[in-house]
Amino acid sequence: MPISLNFGEITVSAPVARSLAAMGYGEPTPIQAEVIPLVKSGQDVVGQAQTGTGKTASFGIPLVEMVDTRSPDIQALILTPTRELSMQVRDEILRLGEYRGVKTVAIYGGQSMNKQLTALDRPSHIIVATPGRLMDHMERGTIRLNEVKTAVLDEADQMLDIGFAPDIAYILRRTPRSRQTLLFSATMPGPIRSLAHRYLRNPEWIRVGGEAEPVKEVRQVYYEVAERDRTRLLGNLLKAPDSITQALIFRRTKVGVDKLERNLRRSGFDAQAIHGDMTQSQRNSVIKRFRAKELRILVATNVASRGLDIPAVSHVINYDVPDNLEEYVHRIGRTARMGRPGTAIIFVSEWDFDTLDLIQSHVGNQLERMAPA
Ligand code: AMP
């Protein structure tokens, strides 16, 4: 099959066209159509866009095109708030740059420093990093950013929420002043605007999803429910007509996952578990059925959900509350993708009010309290 060098109105090189074909990206999403040409022209860009709009490829495609693969230098730096996002962005850029020979490495906390040092022994063109770990490397001299042409601040609002502002300052000061800077954020409160004014030069402001085509946000709701009543509430929600087409349910432990799976099946629901004790091929086959919509309910631990490419679902249910904000954000990112609506539900039991406060302080009044079902 001949490969088209046109991606909508955008011209791409043959190797990138091959990646796009392999990834099934036939047409640019709205944000890609706007952002890619600007980035290619060297312009600084502020993009207001949620996860699910295709924002990663909106900077990923021009970056992999611009990299000089003959040079051993790090030419692009992408900062992300969480290690999950670092891995996700790295994976997408790896695929986009695969046939151009672009080397992309993710640097994040929680992984052994040695492993990352080995990865850095070979030249890397693009680095995707969380700020803390990147700074460790910079201080040790294992990463140098003096040849960076483009810096990307991804999910900047979350980075500020986590308190990364000083780290961002430290890192960007060690990149060339002549660099191009891109900033992406789901929300644009004052502090993000000042961040943009501080680090970007005459940026073009792009917002996807105006009045005409709203980017559907995740609807976030919670139920106050006693711990022992959670199974009953879940059953009621799943039985309500026309509500939940497909649900991804999170539990903290493997034992909890198995127990809930058994309960659900006993009540006649089409549910399966996924966790780290299963073999990779068992996990893959469950995900395959879930993706094909042959399975309605997937009960998962966080760990299982991380490494896996779980498809978007109509409902994410936090049956056990997440351990921290990062995890919450990661979990709810599994719904409302590519403009489709989605709902994230939290079961708040008698022990969980601190966590609820934390989430509320992050998402504010977007989180709705629901009457018991
Ligand atoms: P993101 O907003 O970057 O998290 O992307 C959301 C999802 O859309 C990811 O699963 C991407 O693989 C997918 N995606 C991004 N761009 C395109 C495109 N042009 N066509 C189809 N799918 C896309």
Domains and CATH numbers, the chain: 4-208 (3.40.50.300), 218-370 (3.40.50.300)
Whether the per-residue pLDDT at 153 is higher than 70: the answer is yes
Torsions phi, psi of 84, nearest 5?
-60, -45
Whether the per-residue pLDDT at 268 is higher than 50: the answer is yes
For residues 215 and 47, is the Cβ–Cβ distance under 8 A? no
β-pair partners for 46:
183, 205
- Considering only CA atoms, which of 172, 216, 221, 180 is closest in space to residue 200? 180
Mean pLDDT taken over the chain: 88
Question: 288: Cβ–Cβ under 8 A, 6 or more apart, which residues?
Answer: none
CA 262 to CA 290: how far, in whole Å?
A: 18
- Per-residue model confidence as pLDDT tens digits over 229-243: 999 999 999 998 778
What pLDDT, on a 0 to 100 scale, did the predictor assign at position 214?
A: 30
Q: What percent of the chain has pLDDT over 70?
A: 93
- Per-residue model confidence as pLDDT tens digits over 171-186: 999 999 999 999 999 8
**Å from CA of 326 to ligand 1 middle:** 21
Atom of ligand 1 nearest to the CA of 28: 19
State the pLDDT confidence band at 211, using cuts at 50, 70 and 90.
very low
* Residues 90-97, mean pLDDT to the nearest whole number: 97
Which residue did the predictor score with more confidence, 211 or 366? 366
**Å from CA of 303 to ligand 1 middle:** 23
Residue nearest to atom 8 of ligand 1 (CA): 54
**Å from CA of 85 to ligand 1 middle:** 14
What pLDDT, on a 0 to 100 scale, did the predictor assign at position 97?
A: 98
* Residues 188-194, mean pLDDT to the nearest whole number: 86
**Å from CA of 359 to ligand 1 middle:** 26
Least confident interval from 48-57, 91-100, 178-187, 298-307: 298-307
Whether the per-residue pLDDT at 315 is higher than 90: the answer is yes
For residues 299 and 260, is the Cβ–Cβ distance under 8 A? yes
Residue nearest to atom 21 of ligand 1 (CA): 25
State the pLDDT confidence band at 191, using cuts at 50, 70 and 90.
confident
Strands 45-48 and 10-11: unpaired
Q: Cα separations (Å) of 251 from 221, 317, 326?
A: 17, 9, 15
Least confident interval from 82-91, 93-102, 266-275: 82-91
CA 162 to CA 58: how far, in whole Å?
A: 24
- Considering only CA atoms, which of 186, 212, 213, 219 is closest in space to residue 341? 219
Q: Is the CB of 80 under 6 A from ligand 1?
A: no
* Residues 80-101, mean pLDDT to the nearest whole number: 93
- Considering only CA atoms, which of 235, 349, 369 is closest in space to residue 297? 235
> Does the predicted TM-score (pTM) go above 0.75?
no
Q: Is the CB of 54 under 6 A from ligand 1?
A: yes
* Residues 108-128, mean pLDDT to the nearest whole number: 84
